[in-house]
Amino acid sequence: MQRKAQIGRAETTTPMEEIIPYTVETRPDTGLNNVKLGIWLFLASEVMLFGALFSSYIILRTGADTWPLGATILNVPLATLNTVVLIASSVTMVMSWASLKMDDVSKYRLYMGATVALAFVFLIVKYFEYTAKFEHGLWPRTSTFLAIYFTMTGLHGLHVVGGIIVNTFLLLPGAKMWKTQRERFTNRVEAAGLYWHFVDLVWIFLFPVLYLL
Amino acid sequence: MDHPSTVHHVDHGHKPHEHAHDLPFWRKYIFSVDHKVIGIQYAITALLFLFFGFSLMMLMRWQLAYPGQPIPLIGNLLGMANAPGGIMLPEFYNQLGAMHGTIMVFLGVVPLAVGGFGNFVVPLQTGAPDMAFPRLNMASYWVFFIGGVVMLASFFVPGGAANSGWTSYVPLAAIATTGQTWWLFGMVFLITSSLLGSVNFITTIVQLRAPGMTWLRLPFFVWAQLVTAFLLLLAFPPLEAAAVLQVMDRVAGTSFFLPSGLVVSGQALTNTGGGSPLLWQHLFWFLAHPEVYVLILPAMGIVAEILPNVIRKPLWGYRFLVYSIVFLGFMSFVVWAHHMFMTGMGTTMSAFFQTTTMIISIPSVVILSAFFVSLYGGSIRFTTPALFAIAFLPMFGIGGLTGLPLGLAATDIHLHDTYYVIGHFHYVVAPGTIFALFAGIYYWFPKATGRQMNRVLGVLHFWGSFICINLVFFPMFIQGLAGINRRLYDGGIQYQHAAPLQHWNVIQGWAAWGLGAFQIFFIINFFWSMKRGRPVTANAWDATTLEWVAAPSPPGHGNFPTPPRVYRGPYEYSVPGAPTDFTPQNQPDTGPNAVRDFHAETLAHDKFKLLEK
């Protein structure tokens, strides 16, 4: 019923998404809306991307004559701090979504702002880590360990930047949608949250693999 | 969504064309979010790339047929760096080879089969008003376009385009000229594009099926696209990772793929070494083997749509076909190292991968057999799409069967890297997939334009292409069995074992140029029919699936004047007792089971509505 009503509306100048079913509401037989399925599929491909890199790490390490212990080269306390920062940002991300569920948009702004701020903290710490390495003459070309360290954390850093862009959009211009389509906006925040947890999760694998093992 | 409300809705008179007319030209045809426009954009771009990639091959064929002789007509236009005096340099031949493979696979066949046909047909066949994420769809096309431009631009950088083969094996690729870096960045764009596309396809097929369109009522083409999308989604990211690592090797001086102690042109490399060249091959083929199925599955889907329509019989063994293609999709992830029997990865690995390779041939044979069995007892309408679709069967059969000796480690030792390999996969991809794609163009052209393509030109195009393409590829089996290496820029003229087979290169050359000439019939037909073709009704082929029976030709904005509802499977042709020899998917049952089915539908329906609340 709902779907038909939407198609009827296409006669005026409604945007394309309006005639597409299940952008907001759940499809009964799959139990999903389009956004949620889409973001999970995207994350599946991200798992394959990082999975390939972790596999490469294993193959390179097992094939190497010598492999340094990460802690002897990298800064474990700073990375621990960064782990705490990212986990905290995941918590604030969930809280921002929960605030929307409870119709409290001012709390949403607070928590989403905190998420973005924590993401910046992560990048700043990472910046100090990187420059400290460069100052000691440690470059990606120095050893295969440093090569995979810079490649994997660099790619992860790009994902953090992507998360900052999306979350800032949802915090500032994108939040206008809250006034007109509350459920749709909440779903968007949920999808961004799933992505953000994934970025967090990748770091939780990267930290022990590169710094501790 | 019950019947009275459908009628009610018709009264309101949804006019799908109105909205589209409101948009300015650039929103309607260039930055469009309509899946049909994007599909056509993809198809035309991909056809242009196919023609360009084929032109590279026509140049290479001259060099093979008449090594060391100046290329006629255009030889002097190729530039001093590539062909001084019109005579092709080996370096240029290598560029052409690498870029022919890359362009045909990543910029031609896949965008046409998935981006073109998938975009245009999948929402129409599933009964969806559009793709699930229309703006993502547009982004996917434009990212693909940028990737294509990067690839083409790489011909003009110093040292020319990538020249290490479409496989970009290291260490050769890691020390190659700048074009290789452009190739890697181009690939990152193409991978991103297909990632966006595949998310969109899966979501569309899972979420936007019309009411009544259950999984086993989906046309086989949609199943093929679903499995293809999963392959693209999960197999491409590892190549993206590999491309990032190779970029690091080339730009940042790392040694992911470079072993220790490498000496190039008498000079030791300064890299730290310790990397693994084999790692690149694993990451590359982890993508590139599923990629082979990305090339063939949509083609099978197209053939499965056209065959029942032209033989006026149901597709034989629809369920088995579905199970087979899903199984094929899973298996395609565990066969990749059969490309690497000669790398010294070990006999245990070889044994595993040759076993999985033999297993994956079973579902392929099931699918091909089901197509052949479908033909039995049919009264075939030899339309142009029928010619191409039927020719697909033996051509793909030759391609598939000649693959078996390559999949067995022992026989592969002799055949590896010979022309036999080229013959094998070209039979799969060229007279196989590309014929199916031509069949698809002739079949869905009336839906996209409202006009029929010319039959005489179509038949000429078919027979010319069919004869020429076999003359190009069949001799390759002979050359390959004689042991001629596939990468020799002069066709092996200095090798004694190749001498008795040199004359084939001349025949193959002329056949290739003839093949090019016969495409002119297609190009003329394509443009002429767009303006002057015979106008058709909505259901141009007396077909059963939703794009023909529920949408006008061409479909308007939102596709369906009334939201379709599906009552039956996709291939109900020549049903005994039915008034016509085709029963549309959206036609309610009127037979003896109608009452029972109606109640079942109503019950399911009420459940649907309850859940919606």
User: Which helix H or strand E contains B268, and what residues bound it?
Assistant: strand B267-268
Chain-centroid distance, C-alpha B74: 30
Q: Which residues pair with B179 in a beta bridge?
A: B161
3-state secondary structure of B452: strand
3-state secondary structure of B404: helix
CATH node for B3-12+32-258+274-549: 1.20.210.10
**Alpha-carbon dihedral angle through residues A140, A143, A145, A149, given to the nearest 10 degrees:** -10
Q: Which residues of A touch B235 (CB under 8 A)?
A: 48
CB atoms within 10 A of CB B109: 26
Average pLDDT over every residue of B209-213: 94
Q: Which residues pair with A10 in a beta bridge?
A: none
- What ipTM is given for this predicted complex? 0.91
Tell me the residue type at A203: W
Which among A9, A11, A22, A24 is the top mutation candidate for probing chain B, defined by the most B β-carbons within 10 Å of its own β-carbon? Answer: A11
Q: Percent of chain A beyond pLDDT 70?
A: 92
All structural domains of chain B with their residue ranges: 3-12+32-258+274-549
Is there a contact between B142 and B462 (Cβ–Cβ < 8 Å)?
Answer: no
CB atoms within 10 A of CB A77: 8
- Which residue in B129, B240, B254 is closest to A147 by CB distance? B254
- Predicted confidence at residue B148, as pLDDT, reads 97
Helices (H), chain A: 2-9, 34-63, 70-73, 76-101, 105-135, 144-171, 177-180, 182-206
pLDDT in tens, B487-513: 999 888 889 998 899 999 999 999 999
HSE-up of residue B490 (Cα within 13 Å, Cβ side) = 12
CB atoms within 10 A of CB B194: 30
Angle formed by the axes of helices B455-481 and B384-401, nearest 10°: 10
The tokens 């020549």 sit on which residue? B574
Could B132 and A38 be called an inter-chain contact, meaning their C-beta atoms sit closer than 8 Å?
yes
Q: How far apart are CA B178 and CA B406, in angstroms?
A: 33
Please enumerate in sequence order all residues whose Cβ is within 8 A of that of B131, keeping only pairs 6 or more positions apart, or say none: B35, B119, B122, B123, B137, B200, B201, B204, B208
pLDDT in tens, B546-565: 999 999 999 998 899 999 99
Domains along chain A with CATH numbers: 1-32 (no CATH), 39-212 (1.20.120.80)
Please give the backbone phi and psi of residue B171, each rounded to the nearest 5 degrees, phi first: -75, -10
- Which residue in B198, B206, B558 is closest to A30 by CB distance? B206
Average pLDDT over every residue of B293-302: 96
Q: pLDDT category, B379, cuts 50, 70, 90?
A: confident
Dmax over Cα atoms in chain A, in whole Å? 69
Q: How far apart are CA B532 and CA A52, in angstroms?
A: 52
3-state secondary structure of A32: strand
Q: pLDDT category, B267, cuts 50, 70, 90?
A: confident
Q: How far is B36 from chain A (nearest CA, A)?
A: 13
- Which residue in B14, B203, B271 is closest to A7 by CB distance? B14
Q: Which residues pair with B296 in a beta bridge?
A: none
Q: pLDDT category, B30, cuts 50, 70, 90?
A: confident
Tell me the residue type at A200: D
HSE-up of residue B120 (Cα within 13 Å, Cβ side) = 27
Is there a contact between B121 and B190 (Cβ–Cβ < 8 Å)?
Answer: no
Q: Which residue has the higher pLDDT, B271 or B223?
A: B223
Could B241 and A53 be called an inter-chain contact, meaning their C-beta atoms sit closer than 8 Å?
yes
For B:185-224, CB contacts with A below 8 A are: 195, 198-200, 202-203, 206-208
Q: Which residues of A touch B563 (CB under 8 A)?
A: 3-4, 7
Could B256 and A60 be called an inter-chain contact, meaning their C-beta atoms sit closer than 8 Å?
yes
Could A49 and B22 be called an inter-chain contact, meaning their C-beta atoms sit closer than 8 Å?
no
* Cis ω before B405 (30° cut-off from 0): no
Q: Which residues pair with B267 in a beta bridge?
A: B264
Angle formed by the axes of helices B277-311 and B220-247, nearest 10°: 160
- Residue B259 CA: distances (Å) to CA of A139, B324, B340: 19, 41, 18
Average pLDDT over every residue of A63-90: 94
User: Average pLDDT over chain B, rounded to whole?
Assistant: 90
User: Which helix H or strand E contains B263, and what residues bound it?
Assistant: strand B263-264
Could B286 and A25 be called an inter-chain contact, meaning their C-beta atoms sit closer than 8 Å?
no
- Predicted confidence at residue B603, as pLDDT, reads 54
User: Which residue from A89, A78, A153 is spatially nearest to A120, judged by alpha carbons?
Assistant: A89
- Predicted confidence at residue A5, as pLDDT, reads 39
Please enumerate in sequence order all residues whose Cβ is within 8 A of that of B412, keeping only pairs 6 or more positions apart, or say none: B338, B341, B342, B405, B406
Establish if B344 touches chain A: CB-CB under 8 angstroms.
no
Could B14 and A142 be called an inter-chain contact, meaning their C-beta atoms sit closer than 8 Å?
no
Q: How far apart are CA A62 and CA B88, in angstroms?
A: 45
Q: How far is B57 from chain A (nearest CA, A)?
A: 33
Is there a contact between B208 and A22 (Cβ–Cβ < 8 Å)?
Answer: yes
Could A140 and B252 be called an inter-chain contact, meaning their C-beta atoms sit closer than 8 Å?
yes
Whether the pLDDT of residue B595 is over 70: the answer is no
Is there a contact between B464 and B522 (Cβ–Cβ < 8 Å)?
Answer: no
Tell me the residue type at A68: P
3-state secondary structure of B484: coil
The tokens 């947890």 sit on which residue? A197
pLDDT in tens, B172-195: 999 899 999 999 999 999 999 999
How many residues are present in chain B? Answer: 613
The DSSP 8-state label assigned to residue A159 in this structure reads H
Q: Percent of chain B beyond pLDDT 90?
A: 80
DSSP codes of every residue in B492-552: TTT-GGGGGGHHHHHHHHHHHHHHHHHHHHHHHHHHHHHHHSEE--S-TT---SHHHHTS-
Q: pLDDT category, B274, cuts 50, 70, 90?
A: confident
How does A109-119 read in b/e, with b if 16+ C-beta sit within 10 Å?
eebbbbbbebb
pLDDT in tens, B119-128: 999 999 999 9
Q: How far apart are CA A61 and CA B280, in angstroms?
A: 15
Q: pLDDT category, B265, cuts 50, 70, 90?
A: confident
pLDDT in tens, A142-156: 999 999 999 999 999
- Predicted confidence at residue B28, as pLDDT, reads 79
Is there a contact between A16 and B130 (Cβ–Cβ < 8 Å)?
Answer: yes
pLDDT in tens, A106-153: 999 999 999 999 999 999 999 999 999 999 999 999 999 999 999 999
Chain-centroid distance, C-alpha B536: 28
User: Which residue from B207, B100, B194, B198 is spatially nearest to B155, judged by alpha carbons?
Assistant: B100
Is there a contact between A58 and A50 (Cβ–Cβ < 8 Å)?
Answer: no
Is there a contact between B39 and B554 (Cβ–Cβ < 8 Å)?
Answer: no
Q: How far is B262 from chain A (nearest CA, A)?
A: 16
Could B276 and A21 be called an inter-chain contact, meaning their C-beta atoms sit closer than 8 Å?
no
Could B612 and A155 be called an inter-chain contact, meaning their C-beta atoms sit closer than 8 Å?
no
Q: What is the number of helices (H) and of strands (E) in chain B?
A: 22, 4
Q: How far is A84 from chain B (nearest CA, A)?
A: 27
